[in-house]
Structure 1
Amino acid sequence: MKYFAITICLFLFSCQNSNVKKQSENQHKSGQYITVLGIAQDAGYPHIGCQKQCCANFYNGNFKKQKVVSLGLVDKENSQKWLFEATPDISTQLADLEQNHLKTTNLIDGIFLTHAHIGHYAGLMYFGREALGKQGTRVYTMPKMKEFLSKNGPWNQLVELKNIVFENLQKDTSVVLNDKLKVTPFLVPHRDEFSETVGYKIEGENKTALFIPDINKWSKWQKNIVEEVKKVDIAFLDATFFKDGEINRPMSEIPHPFIEETVSLFKNETLKTKNKVVFIHFNHTNPALQKTAAEKTKIEKLGFKFAFEGMNFGL
């Protein structure tokens, strides 16, 4: 009887998880919403030079390619769409927005950048003369990010040819996109070799989301991540690594918050609060990137979510 009850619970959890995915996929029929266009760390999945089992799962045909972390913001009422991050996968991510969400004469109404690490801005190259070559793509940037792109090649050629035009951002100052949507950048601590690093608050008429794909340890931030999550409806949080010792390099050199650490911070919070957390930005070594990882299932049972391409959240 005991084993029967366990089987039933597992079945119900599986059905609930499946229903969450189906509901998420159907929340973009109208109005304003966020769609997940990529979930991997900067170098994507499979990872360059990786011969481990994690990447072998792709080469053996057991798991599909995962694009670099990116969100789309879609407003069907006003026929507008924006991109968060310009990743190396930007061509297919823009195509995803056009084919599966909103096709307009304007390819994209603007791109919000978080910082100058390769997975987050390198896709801008495709707006240049070797690729799209179109003028006037709006790029929302913080001051140091704007300066970096303006003074360093090949990015400054995009500026000189007006392939991209800047929309200036200031920390904690909202950008009103239209009468239904606004976006606010805020500074977060990270390895700021070339630019500052920001996260974003994305606000709709009814709901609000946080997007923090890259940050150092939560303790390095002047804000309390638990309290910040409580203020919003959904929070996409940096989940680059699952736990310490995951890679062969000294992990102190790349001090992201481990999933285990984030889960621990929320351990005494309500299920409602835990349900707001959506982990994103997974390194190729992270078991959360694999379909059937036991580590991922354990965290999901606690109430946390994991981002996947095609996931949608109404605003």
Structure 2
Amino acid sequence: MKQLLLLLLSICLFACQTKKQEFPADTKSIVGIPEISGKVSLIVLGNVQDAGSPQIGCTKKCCENLFKNPDRNRKITSLGIYDQENNKTFLFEASPDIITQTKYLKNYAQTVGELPDGIFLTHAHIGHYSGLMFLGKEAMNASDVPVYVMPKFKLFIETNGPWDQLVNNKNIALKALNHKDTLEITSNLKIIPFKVPHRDEYSETVGYTIIGPEKSVLFIPDIDKWEKWEESIIEKVKQVDYAFLDATFFDAEEINNRDISEIPHPFVIESMSLFSDLKVSEKKKIHFIHFNHTNPLLNPESKQTKEVLQKGYKIARLGNTIQL
């Protein structure tokens, strides 16, 4: 009997061993886990608006089949950064899909730890910070994960439940950012937050300039309208090598049951019109991201997708990588 128990125990232990190259099915995309090249790389971990796709309560055609056959590549907007030289990873946005996104980033970088070395948040809307809940004691019970936020956002987390529990239990360590102040997070990476106009009920809203050893990235997943910003988005695009920009809605037709004044965003058709005079070399820097569940750009085969690509722009997809 004792020998039988030992045999069963050894079988269980063997079965629980993790093979380095086998990833959970939900962390794979159609393109798989990309290979790494260069000192610092950026990987797209999601491209959908806060509420996901399909969206709760959706009865439209764009959701119908997805309730029956979910598309595992439709993750809420997030970017991952891997500094290979310093063996550090960083997450931009703590989305509701943080469970699979952190695993995808870990598998991409082949790091030991399950969590990134820091999380940068843009603002306090559900798709951008609610993933923090999985760092609490009900889930991972993480220890002092650095979370970078602006001052108003920091105060909101510190003084409102359930988020203050993450601070009090030392699951996260809040790090204050300041408008346009440069933060050097590794010898290869600098981050510059900057305010943009948006619905700031509980926090500021920021975009980020991410500066690697060779190239730089602009990340603005949410903004009201380009013309409301005191800065020129055209000049901003010219100053960087890549730009991941708010493309929540393709046009007004897809939200015919909502008042657009309540949810202002630059339509993709407006952005393309604004950028129409840019050189081809500038247009190809632009990666549209943060798509509402109604946005036809989520469908790689839609006529709108083909139009955007034909005009020289790019569409962010899960697993896309660029070298910085």
Q: TM-score, normalised by structure 1?
A: 0.90
Contact 2:102 2:115 in 1 (8 A): yes
Contact 1:145 1:194 in 2 (8 A): yes
Deviation readout 1:87-120 (Å, 9 max, x if unpaired): 1000100000112223223621000000000000
Q: Secondary structure at the match of 2:277?
A: coil
Partner of 1:256: 265
Contact 1:282 1:289 in 2 (8 A): yes
CA shift for structure 1 position 72: 0.2
172, 181, 185: which one pairs with 2:189? Answer: 181
Identity %: 49
Contact 2:207 2:220 in 1 (8 A): yes
Give the partner amino acid of 1:255.
Answer: P
Partner of 2:89: 81
Give the partner amino acid of 1:145.
Answer: F
CA shift for structure 1 position 63: 4.5
Contact 1:74 1:102 in 2 (8 A): no
In the alignment, does 2:309 pair up with 1:310?
no
> Aligned in 2, Cα 1:196/1:204: closer, same or farther, shift over 3 Å?
same
Contact 1:28 1:313 in 2 (8 A): no
Partner of 1:121: 129
CA shift for structure 1 position 312: 0.4
Contact 1:36 1:72 in 2 (8 A): yes
| CA distance in 1: counterparts of 2:135 and 2:274, whole angstroms | 41
| CA distance in 2: counterparts of 1:24 and 1:207, whole angstroms | 25
Long gaps (5+) in structure 2 = 1-29
| CA distance in 2: counterparts of 1:235 and 1:27, whole angstroms | 22
Deviation readout 1:109-162 (Å, 9 max, x if unpaired): 000000000000000001111001122110001000000000000000111111
Contact 2:287 2:315 in 1 (8 A): yes
> Aligned in 2, Cα 1:41/1:246: closer, same or farther, shift over 3 Å?
same
Please identify the structure whose Cα radius of gyration is greater: 2
Q: Secondary structure at the match of 1:222?
A: coil
Q: TM-score, normalised by structure 2?
A: 0.87
Deviation readout 1:251-304 (Å, 9 max, x if unpaired): 111110000000000111110010010000000000001121101101110100
| CA distance in 2: counterparts of 1:295 and 1:286, whole angstroms | 9
141, 145, 166: which one pairs with 2:174? Answer: 166
Query: Which runs of 4 or more aligned residues in structure 1 lie more than 3 Å from their structure 2 counterparts after TM superposition?
Result: 22-27, 59-65
Contact 1:32 1:314 in 2 (8 A): yes
Partner of 1:281: 290
CA shift for structure 1 position 246: 1.6
Q: Secondary structure at the match of 2:253?
A: coil
Deviation readout 1:203-222 (Å, 9 max, x if unpaired): 01110000000000000000
Contact 1:208 1:234 in 2 (8 A): yes
Root mean square deviation of aligned Cα: 1.7
Deviation readout 1:175-195 (Å, 9 max, x if unpaired): 101111110000000000000
CA shift for structure 1 position 62: 8.1
Contact 1:27 1:33 in 2 (8 A): no
| CA distance in 1: counterparts of 2:291 and 2:272, whole angstroms | 15
Pairs aligned (count) = 294
Partner of 1:194: 202
In the alignment, does 2:156 pair up with 1:148?
yes
Q: Secondary structure at the match of 1:167?
A: strand
> Aligned in 2, Cα 1:77/1:292: closer, same or farther, shift over 3 Å?
same
